[in-house]
Amino acid sequence: MTQNPFTAVFNAQRTAIEQHQALTHDALEAQKAAFDAFTTGLETSESLIEGNAELTKGLVHATFDTLEESMPEGSTDLEELRTAVDDGFDAATEAQIESLEALVEAVEESSVAYDEFAEEYAVVVDDSVENALEAHDQFADNVQKVSISIEEAADEFDVSA
């Protein structure tokens, strides 16, 4: 393409369109990565829940041990209370893990749905950009032809003067 006053503008427009396309793809990939990171974070939370429950249960048992040691021997039996605490922590931990697993499953399903959407959207963006660039190139070619025609007419006008 020969240079005319609009060549730089058309090149800048083409570059902007191509950069927008690339940014759109980058944004889609970033969102996919965010879903993956969120899911991974949730999955690691299970071990934190279990670890926290065991730590807290251990602290309660240590408190019971201290309490038993401070009382006369045989005067108190906290075994039933220990069992109740263990059962309570186990039930609470199980409920938290079940809730977390349901949340992870929902996020994974959302992630799959987003991946499908992102793939379809990327195809639409690519097709739209391709069509826009084709129209852009056709318009630039038409402007180039008009520019050449104007130059030729100006040359003929100068020659006849």
Residue 30 lies in a domain: yes
Q: Which two tokens stand for residue 120?
A: 């379809």
Contacts by residues 147-153 (CB-CB < 8 Å, ≥ 24 positions apart): 147/4, 147/5, 147/6, 148/2
Residue 157 lies in a domain: no
Residue 152 lies in a domain: no
Residue 117 lies in a domain: yes
**Backbone dihedral angles phi then psi of residue 119, each to the nearest 5 degrees:** -60, -45
Residue 159 lies in a domain: no
Number of domains in the chain: 1
What pLDDT tens digit does each residue of the chain (161 aa) get?
567 778 889 899 999 999 999 999 999 999 999 989 999 998 889 899 999 999 999 999 999 999 888 888 877 788 899 999 999 999 999 999 999 999 999 999 999 999 999 999 999 999 999 999 999 999 989 988 888 888 888 878 766 65
From CA 113, how far away is CA 117, in angstroms rounded? 6
Residue 61 lies in a domain: yes
How many residues can be counted in the chain? 161
Residue 41 lies in a domain: yes
Residue 48 lies in a domain: yes
Give me the domain span that covers residue 92: 7-147
The model scores a pTM over 0.85: no
